[in-house]
């Protein structure tokens, strides 16, 4: 599906899952290199940037955290930048690109000069919106941190193990996807400065700054999730140790009582109190006194309970 937007002499073509005929038409209209035309037909393994005579070809992947504990997804966007045209090719619906196209249409209707006089400025505003989308996803994770922290200190440590693991996985996937952006954008800065002119270098450096901003927030989230995991593990270990201590003390109290019961339960002739009609209650009383004494010793003297 092809959507075309025009502003003065600038053209933005947004292609979602383009067909061979659509790609061939774009190739003929904008003079695309055959290798570029072939690559936008299908997803590419890794991000990259290539420089041609009349256009720059750029591939970037953007993470998409779904918050459904399924590991999230990622979207590939291919950018083809000429002097007066930009082509974006992708294989999934991307809300942020749709929002950017609306802004572009409004700007063209209102004849705003903020867009700039070449296609590099369109790319600049698109990429800023995409990084803004990533910022929003990381902000959502920050809200998850607040909720998890509240539950961790409310006695739900065991339930939070899975939640913390899911967030950690999302952040790992996020970091893995955007890690190549640094090298790609730095290479694009060199190619873009030659292609669009030195005056555009400020905007190219600003794009790299957006990446570093997201990378910094991501590193902060990674530190937070590791600290949360350590805190949760410590609380869970403490609770487990308390349970084991209680079970051990209980077993220690029951041990002498079991011994007394087994001792007087032996089938021997000369068992003390064997002929006493109150023997059972005497033995039970002795066991009760021993149990209470041991409980009091651990509770009040040792303070283990």
Q: How far apart are CA 225 and CA 202, in angstroms?
A: 35
- The residue with tokens 């904008």 is 30
Count CB atoms within 10 A of the CB of residue 58. Answer: 24
Digits of tens for pLDDT over the chain (305 positions)?
A: 778 777 777 888 888 888 888 888 888 888 888 888 888 888 777 888 888 888 888 888 888 765 444 445 778 888 888 888 888 888 887 777 777 766 666 555 445 555 667 878 888 888 888 888 888 888 888 888 888 877 777 777 777 778 878 888 888 888 888 888 888 888 888 888 888 888 888 888 888 888 899 889 888 888 888 888 888 777 777 777 777 777 777 777 777 777 767 766 665 555 666 666 666 666 777 777 777 776 776 676 666 55
Phi, psi of 228 (to 5 degrees): -65, -40
Domains of the chain by residue range: 2-237, 264-301
Closest by CA to 218, choosing from 268, 168, 157, is: 168
Three-state SS at 292: helix
Q: Which residues contact 146 (CB under 8 A, 6 or more apart)?
A: none
Show the tokens assigned to 190: 């060199």
Identify whether the C-beta of residue 84 lies closer than 8 Å to the C-beta of residue 31. Answer: no
Task: Classify residue 204 as left (phi > 0), alpha (psi -120 to 50) or beta.
Answer: alpha
Residues 237-266 as b/e (b if ≥16 CB within 10 A, e otherwise) read eeeeeeeeeeeebeeebeeebeebeeebee
C-alpha–C-alpha distance, residues 250 and 246, integer Å: 6
What's residue 238's pLDDT?
73
* CATH annotation of 2-237: 3.30.460.20
**What pLDDT is recorded for position 109?**
46
- Exposed, middle or buried by CB within 10 Å (0-12, 13-18, 19+), for 101? middle
Rounded to whole angstroms, how far apart are CA atoms 50 and 56? 6
Identify the pLDDT of residue 72. Answer: 53
CB atoms within 10 A of CB 91: 17
Residue 125 CB-half CA count within 13 A: 17
Pairing type for strands 2-7 and 85-90 reads unpaired
pLDDT at 126: 85
Round the CA-based radius of gyration of the chain to a whole number and report it: 34
Environment class of 181 (CB within 10 Å of its CB; exposed 0-12, middle 13-18, buried 19+): buried
Contact assessment for residue 142 and residue 65, using Cβ atoms and an 8 Å cutoff = no
């Amino acid at each position: 599906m092809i959507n075309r937007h025009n502003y003065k002499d600038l053209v933005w073509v947004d292609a979602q899952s383009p067909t061979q005929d659509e790609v061939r038409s774009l190739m003929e209209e904008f003079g695309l290199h055959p290798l570029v035309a072939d690559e936008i037909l299908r997803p590419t393994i890794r991000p990259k940037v290539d420089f041609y005579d009349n256009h720059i070809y750029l591939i970037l992947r953007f993470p998409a955290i779904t918050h459904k504990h399924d590991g999230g997804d990622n979207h590939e966007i291919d950018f083809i930048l000429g002097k007066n045209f930009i082509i974006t090719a992708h294989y999934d619906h991307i809300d942020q690109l749709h929002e950017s196209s609306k802004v572009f249409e409004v700007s063209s209707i209102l004849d705003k000069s903020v867009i700039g006089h070449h296609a590099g400025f369109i790319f600049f505003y698109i990429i800023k919106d995409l990084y803004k989308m990533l910022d929003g996803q990381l902000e959502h994770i920050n809200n998850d941190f607040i909720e998890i922290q509240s539950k961790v200190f409310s006695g739900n440590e065991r339930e939070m193990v899975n939640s913390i693991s899911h967030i950690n996985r999302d952040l790992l996937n996020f970091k893995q996807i955007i890690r190549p952006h640094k090298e790609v954008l730095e290479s694009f800065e060199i190619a873009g400065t030659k292609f669009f002119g030195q005056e555009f270098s400020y905007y190219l450096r600003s794009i790299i700054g957006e990446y570093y901003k997201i990378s910094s927030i991501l590193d902060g989230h990674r530190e937070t999730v590791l600290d949360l995991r350590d805190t949760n593990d410590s609380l869970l270990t403490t609770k487990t140790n308390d349970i084991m201590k209680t079970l051990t003390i209980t077993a220690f109290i029951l041990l002498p009582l079991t011994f007394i019961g087994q001792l007087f339960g032996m089938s021997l002739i000369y068992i003390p109190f064997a002929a006493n009609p109150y023997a059972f209650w005497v033995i039970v009383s002795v066991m009760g006194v021993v149990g209470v004494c041991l409980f009091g010793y651990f509770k009040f003297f040792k303070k283990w309970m």
